[in-house]
Amino acid sequence: MPMTMKMMFARALCTLALVWVASAPAAAQVRLEGFTFDATARVADAELRLNGVGLKAVAWLKGYAAALYLPHKATSATQVLALAGAKRLQMRMLQDVAAAEFVKAFEKGVARNTPAAELPGLKERMAVFDQQVGALGKVRKGDTVNLDFVPGRGLLFTHNGKLRGDPIAGEDFYAALLRIFIGDKPTDPELKIGLLGGPVS
């Protein structure tokens, strides 16, 4: 039975829509507080996509802008932590901050968002990470800090593109750090919303 003109037109529209979706460009880079976050990031041999961005702020004081890069889009902490493969949490500093303050914030965030039974298993690796961060002395406005996870190696901590110390092994350790930002008791609820792809307030 021959197709009517209406059916042919509808099929043509569907075909055009599919072609447009297939050829549509990747998500655009994002500008936030004067920083540009690229649409993609390469960690080891993996190309990651920008999942979301947000601000860490206390009242009127803005500490840093952050971005989360993942292999695939995720809109919940459970999805993020379940994703296999490389990941990146990037921070762009908006203030000068003593590295010791960063260490305290990381320690507090891990303690608040990690089950008590898991904390002893993280203690030694947390001490190594604290040393890596503390060795910076001060993190300055405009600096870039990357917390990368590379399968088979673990956490790679870089400051302005320079690797600081040896990798810290364990998906559990990297998950503990990520939960600081997207866990049940995040360092900033609005930042969590942004990193998970929600609006930035």
Distance of CA 79 to the CA centre of its chain: 13
Q: What is the mean pLDDT of residues 153-159?
A: 96
Confidence at residue 201, expressed as pLDDT on a 0 to 100 scale = 65
Of 43, 77, 9, nearest to 155 (Cα)? 43
Domain 27-195 CATH (choose: 2.120.10.60, 3.50.70.10, 3.90.1150.10, 3.40.50.450): 3.50.70.10
Q: For the whole model, what pTM was predicted?
A: 0.84
pLDDT digits (tens, 9 = 90+) for 7-23: 444 344 333 333 333 33
What residue ranges do the domains of the chain occupy? 27-195
